[in-house]
Amino acid sequence: MEFLPLFFDMKGKRCLIVGGGTIAYRKAHLIAKSGAVIDVVAPDICEDLSGIVKASKGQLLLKPYEHGLVDGYTLIIAATNCLVVNEQVSRDAQRGNIPVNVVDNPSLCSVILPAIIDRSPVVVAVSSGGKSPVLARQLRTKIESMIPSAYGRLGDLVGRFREAVKSRFQTIDQRRLFWEKTLDGPVAELVLAGKELEAQAALTDLLESEDEAVVGEVFLVGAGPGDPDLLTFKALRLMQKADVVLYDRLVSDEVVELCRKDAEYVYVGKARSEHSVPQLEINELLVKYAQEGRKVLRLKGGDPFIFGRGGEEIERLAELGIPFQVVPGITAAAGCASYSGIPLTHRDYSQSVSLVTGHLKNNTTDLNWEKLSFSDQTVVFYMGLTGLPVICQQLIAHGRAATTPIALIQQGTTRHHRVLTGTLETINAIVAAEKVRAPTLIIVGEVVNLHDKLNWFSPSV
């Protein structure tokens, strides 16, 4: 380990920055967040940097750096474009045992300023020892995706209860076990869901109770159209917390693999030629597992509230008072269209979008064809492969031109992403010749003509 990571309390402490340009401003912007008093010395100081110095109640020293200026400071930053000056600042600071950072010159540094994930009071620092600041920033981005912004509020809540927990539990091990259960349980989830008052009450009850009640919860999570990179941060977090995972065929294998490895997996999906778990049975499975005190992930392709029956599934949970969360996902219409270079709206071609299911509850395609046949709109059909001949026939019969462009997107956003285009008059023959299989999405409208020009996604199978 080249550098020992430490966290300094800089509140009210004085920091000297040598240099008055953009780089000095960036360092000052970071250090100001710690509550430090910042002085800057340089012949010219940019306006943004001056503002930070004044806000910290520091001083602007409009002159070149001089030997001895480092005396009395807690931290020194050298951020000039002159190596001679930076070397002098480093020597002066290290001679006085004052921590010094020289920007982009690790050999002159006694401390390194890391890339920071700020979820105060939780702070995570990433450093490459000055060898690759860009790599450190990239790692910071990856870590940020795993730490929700609400973790700061969770840290504040825990801090307010520390003394109470010390009073209740006499040993370090007892306190550790209590906090492990708390931070991996409903209290933490309430905070992360924005329900801080409920979390505080739950933590109070937990602390006062002799035995922790068994409480389950259901996470209704949108898995998006297939590409795992399209998952939300919150979806990934809950996927790693679940004890039981209920998933269907619209969830890609790559997404399923991101779930907690030791969870119980229950497949509840179907293909057209196979039996499936009835919807009512899925609803009762969610209830059953939650009442056992387990964290249940219901992973659904796309968005659970757009042709995903998400509302049906949580109705039963709401009736029984079972806690649940709903995490939206990128719906197939948005994901597949974007990956196919087909804007769903375009001021030259389409002023509205209709999202329609091509497979109704009574197994018909009895839709409002007259409304769907307006020429200045885009119509997206979910689950419409089987009913494609009827869709084309009815749209033409109700006034949509037979030459209207249509696209069929198979396994959109995945490495098997495939787009077939034609017209209402020709698409059925194309589909028959190409042996298309579900899941597919159908887009009808003039915007389909933009596919050839804007198509950017070329998956490698």
- The full set of domains in the chain, from first to last, is 14-113 (3.40.50.720), 164-208 (no CATH), 217-327 (3.40.1010.10), 335-454 (3.30.950.10)
pLDDT value of residue 177? 72
> Over the range 413-443, which residues count as b (16 or more CB within 10 Å of their CB) and which as e?
bbeebbbbbbbbeebbeebeeeebeebbbbb
**Does the active-site annotation cover 234?**
no
> Three-state SS for 217?
strand
> Environment class of residue 460 by beta-carbon count within 10 Å: exposed (0-12), middle (13-18) or buried (19+)?
exposed
Amino acid 178: pLDDT: 84
Q: Output the CA angle 71-74-75, nearest 5 degrees.
A: 100
1 labeled binding residue: no
Which is the catalytic residue, given 181, 234, 270, 288? Answer: 270
pLDDT at 181 over 80: no
The residues that bridge with 323 in the sheet, in sequence order, are none
Q: Decide which of 307 and 212 is more confident.
A: 307
Residue 301 annotated as part of some ligand binding site: yes
* Strand (E) or helix (H) holding 397: helix 388-397
- Give the rounded percent of residues in the chain with a pLDDT score beyond 70: 95
302 in a known ligand binding site: yes
pLDDT in tens, 383-432: 899 889 999 999 999 999 999 999 999 999 999 999 999 999 999 999 99
Taking residues 99-124, what's their average pLDDT? 92
**Using CA atoms, how far apart are residues 377 and 346, in angstroms rounded to an integer?**
9
How many angstroms separate the CA atoms of 171 and 216, rounded?
28
Tell me the per-residue pLDDT of 315-334, one tens digit each, with 9 for 90 and over: 999 999 999 999 999 999 99
Residues 151 and 237: beta-carbon distance below 8 Å: no
* 364 in a known ligand binding site: no
User: Which pLDDT tens digit goes with each residue over 209-258?
Assistant: 755 455 688 999 999 999 999 999 899 989 988 889 999 989 999 999 99
Q: Which residues contact 445 (CB under 8 A, 6 or more apart)?
A: 349, 350, 377, 378, 379, 404, 405
Q: DSSP secondary-structure letter at 447?
A: G
Residue 131, pLDDT score: 84
Whether 303 has a binding-site annotation, put simply, is yes
pLDDT digits 0-9 by tens, 129-168? 888 888 988 998 888 877 888 889 999 999 999 999 998 8
Q: How many CB atoms lie within 10 A of CB 214?
A: 9
Model pTM?
0.67
Predicted confidence (pLDDT) per residue in 329-372, tens digit: 999 999 999 999 999 999 999 999 999 988 755 556 678 999 99
Indicate which residue of 248, 253, 261, 452 is catalytic: 248
Which segment of 180-184, 242-246, 254-258, 297-301 scores lowest on mean pLDDT? 180-184
- Active site annotation includes 195: no
Run of H or E residues at 296: strand 295-300
Q: Is 96 annotated as a binding residue?
A: no
412 is known to lie in a ligand binding site? yes
User: Would the annotation count 332 as a binding residue?
Assistant: yes
Q: DSSP H helical segments within 145-228, as ranges?
A: 151-168, 172-183, 186-192, 196-208
Q: Which residues pair with 165 in a beta bridge?
A: none
- Which residue did the predictor score with more confidence, 359 or 57? 57
